Amino acid sequence: MTQINTLEQVDFAQNNLEKHSVNVHKFGGSSLATPECIERVISIIRQHCQLNDIIVVSANGKTTDLLLSLHQLALSGELLDTSLALLKEQQSALIFALLNADNASRLAGELEQDINQLVAWLSDNPLAFESDILALGEVWSARLLSALLNERICRSYYLDARDFLVINNARECRVDNPVSQANLANSRQGQKLAVITGFICKDQAGNSCTLGRNGSDYSATILASLLSAKNVTLWTDVDGIYSADPRVVPAARKLHRLPNAVARELGRLGNPVLHKKTLQPLTDDFSGTGSHLHVASSFDTKAAATEIGEFGQIARQELSVTHLNDLLLVSCEALKGSVAADVIAELSPVYSDKKQGQLVILASQQQALTNALAVLGAEVIFTPVSLIAAVGYQVALRLDIYGRFKRALKNDRVLRFVNSKQEHSIIALLPQETTPELLNKVHHEIVKDARHLGLVVAGLGNIGQRFLELLPAQLARVPALENVHLVGLVSSKKALIHTDGLDVSSALADFSEQATDYTNQDLVSWLKHHPYDEMILVDITPSEAFSFLYDEFFDLGIHVIGANKWAASASTDTYRALKNKAGKSGSLWLGNTTVGAGLPVNYALDDLIYSGDQITEISGVFSGTLSWLFEHYDAQKPFSVLLKEALAQGITEPDPREDLSGRDVQRKLLILARAAGFELSLEDINCQNLVPESLQGLSTEAFLQQADALDGYFEQQYRQAKEQQACIRYIARFSLEQGKVKAGVSLEVLARDDAFANLTPCDNIFQIKSHWYRDNPLIIRGPGAGRDVTAGGLHSDLVKACRQLVNKQHQVTLKGIN
């Protein structure tokens, strides 16, 4: 592993990005605006960077705006003193707030010299030195951050991009890749972290140039392309790309992964975070870097970022809506000819139609176009227009989306509908401004049901396999599961996880061929960065160890559907802590199948409690296995033979002693008592263990081999009961009497006509008494174990969860969009 040469220990345990490859991190102006912001940046670098990474910075806060206004003042011959003083004061404040005394005084000296130089440029020839003047902001920002890294984290140097980055001219900003790459290789210093100025570069004659609006993002992707970086992260003040501008559309949802082509289209059509040029270096046909771009928040590093790159089918389903006002529809006969090609190359219009001699351009490009067409003496008509667009992978080929887009606009005046050449957008040109109301309406129509839910299934045994066998048909027929994607399968030692989704029809076969060894930490760390709106984990393991992971799952906001009874019957403290954590992080925790398999007993109790009823008694037969055994047992066939038949039918626990010991029933009674609002633990429930001591410490295999040791005891119990015209059943009883809880599970002798004695083998019966069901109890009865009913019950929980999650709205927190 690459060793980072640290002055202070970097905490790699928290380091999220892939090691061994270069990563580029770009911090925008608002992320570097104040000492507190810069401290945050330092901690991001500590967690996410390695020595060979590249850090690209914008100017601190609004420094570039201030430099620009100084330049304007100088051009118009106005007084500069106040603005100069403010500029110096802001920079000095950052230097003295962050650096130690020696470094602060060194940087303050350098700042003084720069200000003197700035004054000279402003008074001599501000027009000629515009780019040099604007470049100062990035130089100061890089110099300060590098000095701070030297003090706090590791050896670092700052690099002025004008020392290596060469473009053809300031208008086109096309990078001279071979020259820039060679220059960069010469400028880099080994074993130090580089902080590089964004936004600036030089032309072939060596003059300073700037890369235009949001040029630092472009600098970052240029560097990624020059260095074939694995990832570029734009650390900014928003936590990703949304399906519409969330300041205007509150229902906008974060897009977790975006194909390059779609992201480029978004940048072209007005997305406030992605800019037209940003993706160009990574997506040009010849670039071949395969770098992925991440848009992450420097204010909330825990929020999942948006990742842009090449992905499979699921990411291609993302849809968004974007708009641009202040456009002009240009009509000119001259644009029908070869002139159009030149103009298109120069202005990259939003839309062009050579046949009709029409273009759509930004209003700010009007002068440039007028100049270009003036030489031809042709008449030009400019009509103000706006556009609204649905953007998504090959969306123009999707007739359903086209229909919805048109429907949303049916009451608005539309000049025409057009597709982008690559078919990744459908654009409506409007003769009026796009209003927030319209944007919300179109967004609702296009994006309303597009939340993507990931599904991981842990436990692929008896019940897990049946759950998966039912899954394809469920996904096909249940509307609430429309956007559910199976992304992971996990057994005790192996896992198969595909972020782009597994084929549900061959998932089990694929698992046996492709699954690889994993650790719980691998699973948690994948879940930490999953790209779905919501992630649901279905726990169909019998494992206590696996249930210990719930704590981390809930920390991550993962939803859990459990057939596994361990967590729900854990100690009172653990159970309460898990419930609290799930509640705080908004994680759903459903476990209807932990008691009565698919029978709706947990739901019924929940409903009574939420409706204000009070439960006083719960009793019945809670074990499918014990029900099946005692309903069948007539002392003809040995008890141990019947037990093995129950095991083969998939109704027992993986180790049938869980059933025979009464522990499984004890857990179920505890789960129901908790659902009924009582706080108790397993120790509060008396439990009669039916497994003789001699069989208790054995392995499951050894137990099954020696199971005939059970036979004598059960034959005796059966015959004694029969002599009294009675029968034996394993019964759970919970009651609240004068404020005192009584709870126990044991073998009871029941009259033959007792309600608990006449069940279909394997049936459970739950008798619930409450204030509302006092004299005539509520009875729930039916199969309480088995593959189909348990897998069915898990599917019912899944649908319930999805119905809640599909409409869940995330609170969008934005610091503002720069």
Ligand X SMILES: NC(=O)C1=CN([C@@H]2O[C@H](COP(=O)(O)OP(=O)(O)OC[C@H]3O[C@@H](n4cnc5c(N)ncnc54)[C@H](OP(=O)(O)O)[C@@H]3O)[C@@H](O)[C@H]2O)C=CC1
Binding interface with ligand X (CB under 6 A) = 458-464, 490-493, 540-543, 545-546, 563-565, 593, 597, 624, 650-651, 653-654, 785-786, 790
The nearest distance, CB 629 to ligand LTNE7NMQ, in angstroms, is 9
To the nearest whole angstrom, how small is the minimum distance from the Cβ of residue 246 to ligand LTNE7NMQ?
Answer: 45
Compare residues 380 and 651 and give the one whose CB is closer to ligand LTNE7NMQ: 651
Residues contacting ligand LTNE7NMQ: total by CB under 6 A = 11
Per rule CB under 6 A, is residue 624 in the interface with ligand LTNE7NMQ?
A: yes
248, 436 contact by CB (below 8 A) = yes
Contact indicator for 337, 255 with CB cutoff of 8 Å: no
> CB 599 → ligand X: shortest distance, Å?
10
Of residues 137 and 782, the one with the C-beta less far from ligand X: 782
Which residue, 158 or 734, is less far from ligand LTNE7NMQ as judged by CB? 734
* Distance in angstroms (rounded) separating the CA atoms of residues 784 and 668: 11
Task: Give which of ligand X, ligand LTNE7NMQ, none residue 2 binds (C-beta under 5 to 8 Å, depending on kind).
Answer: none
Measured from the CB atom, is 456 or 727 closer to ligand X?
A: 456
In angstroms, the CA 58 to CA 521 distance is: 36
CA 718 to chain centre: 57
Q: Is 640 in the site for ligand LTNE7NMQ (CB under 6 A)?
A: no
The residue range among 208-216, 265-273, 331-339, 652-660 that interacts with ligand LTNE7NMQ, by the rule CB under 6 A, is 652-660
365: partner contacted, choices ligand LTNE7NMQ, ligand X, none (Cβ within 5-8 A by kind): none
Q: Helix, strand or coil for residue 172?
A: coil
The answer to whether 685 touches 669, Cβ cutoff 8 Å, is yes
Q: Which is nearer to ligand LTNE7NMQ, 28 or 620 (CB)?
A: 620
Is 534 near ligand LTNE7NMQ (CB under 6 A)?
no
Nearest approach, Cβ of residue 40 and ligand X (Å): 37
- What is the rounded (10 degree) CA torsion for 720, 726, 728, 729? -170
623 touches ligand LTNE7NMQ by CB under 6 A:
yes
- For the CB of residue 548, give the shortest distance to ligand X in the complex, in Å: 9
Cβ count within 10 A of residue 256: 23
Q: Does 664 bind ligand LTNE7NMQ (CB under 6 A)?
A: yes
Q: Is 738 exposed, middle or buried (0-12, 13-18, 19+ CB in 10 A)?
A: exposed
Answer whether 503's CB lies under 8 Å from 471's CB.
Answer: no
- Distance CA(614)–CA(530), nearest Å, equals 41
Q: Among candidates 589, 549, 566, which has minimal Cα distance to 682?
A: 566
The closest alpha carbon to 143, from 222, 220, 26, 57, belongs to 57
625 binds, among ligand LTNE7NMQ, ligand X, none (CB under 5 to 8 A by kind): ligand LTNE7NMQ
Q: Residue 753 corresponds to which tokens in the numbers above?
A: 């006509």
In the bound complex, what is the minimum distance in angstroms from residue 789's beta carbon to ligand X? 7
Q: Provide the minimum distance between the beta carbon of 659 and ligand LTNE7NMQ in the complex, in angstroms, as a whole number.
A: 5
Specify the DSSP element, H or E, that contains 590. Answer: strand 589-590
Q: How far is the CB of 561 from ligand LTNE7NMQ (least distance, A)?
A: 15
Q: Which does residue 246 touch among ligand X, ligand LTNE7NMQ, none (CB within 5 to 8 A, set by kind)?
A: none
Least distance in Å: CB of 652 to ligand LTNE7NMQ? Answer: 5
From 254, 565, 668, 769, the catalytic residue: 668
623 binds, among ligand LTNE7NMQ, ligand X, none (CB under 5 to 8 A by kind): ligand LTNE7NMQ
Number of H helices, E strands in the chain: 28, 32
Interior angle at CA 281, CA 23 and CA 42, nearest 5 = 30
**495 vs 676, beta carbon nearer ligand X:** 495
**How many CA atoms are closer than 13 Å to the CA of 795, on its beta-carbon side?**
22
534-539 and 559-562 strand pairing: parallel
- Cβ atoms within 10 Å, residue 575: 18
397-429 burial, b for 16+ CB within 10 Å, e for fewer? ebeebbebbeebbeebeebeebbbeebbbbbbb
Helices 101-124/130-152 angle, 10° precision: 180
777 binds, among ligand LTNE7NMQ, ligand X, none (CB under 5 to 8 A by kind): none
Q: Minimal distance in Å, beta carbon 700 to ligand X?
A: 10
Residues 732-791 that bind ligand LTNE7NMQ (CB under 6 A): 784-785
Q: Where are the alpha helices (DSSP H) in 621-687?
A: 624-632, 639-648, 657-660, 663-675
Spatial distance between the Cα atoms of 54 and 51, rounded to a whole number of angstroms: 8
Q: Which residue is nearest to ligand X (CB)?
A: 461
| Biggest CA-to-CA distance, the chain | 117
Site membership for ligand LTNE7NMQ, residue 539 (CB under 6 A): no
265's CB contacts (< 8 A; 6+ apart) are: 391, 420, 422, 424, 425
**Adjacent-strand bridge partners of 764:** 782
CB atoms < 10 A from the CB of 679, how many? 11
CB of 651 to ligand LTNE7NMQ, least distance (A): 5
Least Å from the CB of residue 350 to ligand X: 52
Cβ neighbours around 785 below 10 Å, total: 29
The nearer residue to ligand X, 339 or 460, going by C-beta atoms, is 460
Partner in contact with 688, chosen from ligand LTNE7NMQ, ligand X, none, beta carbon below 5 to 8 Å by kind: none
Q: Which stretch binds ligand LTNE7NMQ (CB under 6 A): 174-182, 261-269, 436-444, 622-630?
A: 622-630
Report which residue's Cβ sits closest to ligand LTNE7NMQ. Answer: 625
Q: Which of ligand LTNE7NMQ, ligand X, none interacts with 207 (beta carbon under 5 to 8 A by kind)?
A: none
Q: Is 276 a catalytic residue?
A: no
Answer for the pair 395, 426: CB distance below 8 angstroms, yes or no: yes
What one-letter code names the amino acid at 148? L
The nearest distance, CB 166 to ligand X, in angstroms, is 55
Q: Which of 659, 684, 763, 797 binds ligand LTNE7NMQ (CB under 6 A)?
A: 659
**C-beta closer to ligand LTNE7NMQ: residue 541 or 623:** 623
The binder of 459, among ligand LTNE7NMQ, ligand X, none, by C-beta within 5 to 8 A per type, is: ligand X
| Binding characters for ligand LTNE7NMQ, 239-258, by CB under 6 A (x = yes) | --------------------
- 488 or 624: CB nearest ligand X: 624
Interacting residue with ligand LTNE7NMQ among 183, 298, 625, 640 (CB under 6 A) = 625
Question: What distances in angstroms separate CA 270 from CA 25, 322, 364, 386, 783, one per listed residue?
Answer: 24, 6, 14, 11, 58
* Length of the chain in terms of residues written: 818
User: Residue 59's binding partner, choosing from ligand LTNE7NMQ, ligand X, none, with beta-carbon cut-off 5 to 8 A by kind?
Assistant: none
Q: Give the Cα separation of 276 and 264 in Å (integer).
A: 7
DSSP string, 117-170: HHHHHHHH-TTTTHHHHHHHHHHHHHHHHHHHHHHHTB-EEEE-GGGT-EES-T
Token code pair at residue 135: 């470049």
Using the minimum distance from each CB to ligand X, give the nearer residue, 500 or 655. Answer: 655
659 binds, among ligand LTNE7NMQ, ligand X, none (CB under 5 to 8 A by kind): ligand LTNE7NMQ
From residue 583 to residue 602, the character string flagging contacts with ligand LTNE7NMQ as x (rule: CB under 6 A) and all else as - is: --------------x-----
Asked whether 139 and 197 are in contact (CB, 8 A), the reply is yes
**Separation between Cα atoms, residue 156 and residue 741, nearest integer Å:** 67
Binding partner at 259 among ligand LTNE7NMQ, ligand X, none, C-beta below 5 to 8 Å by kind: none
| Interacting residues with ligand LTNE7NMQ (CB under 6 A) | 597, 623-625, 651-653, 659, 664, 784-785
Active-site residue set: 668
